[in-house]
């Protein structure tokens, strides 16, 4: 999770843009828009969510690995956590 005020502001701006895109998609579906523009909007939302995920994951990696591990067990726990996050991201 981004903790600095600048990172938090940037992430929240991304979330608000995604909300706007999702609302536009809902309006298009309610209005019976053609499939092409609807699919394009869905792809845009997916790209925006992937960008958000990437930014939050990058902040988490910096936070997790930006400081030395206390011992081998702590280092292994950090690596296991990151591995799980990356796996879930790639699904």
What is the value of pTM for the model shown?
A: 0.76
Q: What is the pLDDT of residues 8-50, one digit of tens each?
A: 899 999 999 999 999 999 999 999 999 999 999 999 999 999 9
- Can you read off the two tokens belonging to residue 82? 């990151």
Structure-token pair, residue 69: 């591990």
Spell out the domain ranges in the chain.
Answer: 5-89
Strands annotated E in 2-89? none
Distance CA 68, CA 38 (A): 47
- CA 46, 51, 53, 54 dihedral sign is positive
Structure token digits, residue 9: 């502001």
Give 5-89's CATH code, choosing from 3.40.50.720, 1.20.58.1000, 1.10.150.120, 3.30.450.40.
1.20.58.1000
Helix and strand tally (H, E) in the chain? 3, 0
């Amino acid at each position: 999770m981004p903790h600095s005020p600048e990172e938090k502001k940037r992430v929240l701006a991304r979330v608000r843009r995604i909300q706007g895109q999702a609302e536009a998609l809902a309006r298009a579906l309610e209005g019976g828009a053609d499939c092409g523009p609807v699919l394009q909007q869905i792809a845009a939302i997916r790209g925006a969510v992937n960008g958000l995920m990437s930014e939050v994951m990058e902040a988490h990696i910096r936070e997790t690995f930006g400081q030395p591990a206390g011992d081998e067990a702590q280092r292994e726990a950090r690596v296991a956590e990151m591995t799980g996050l990356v796996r879930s991201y790639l699904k």
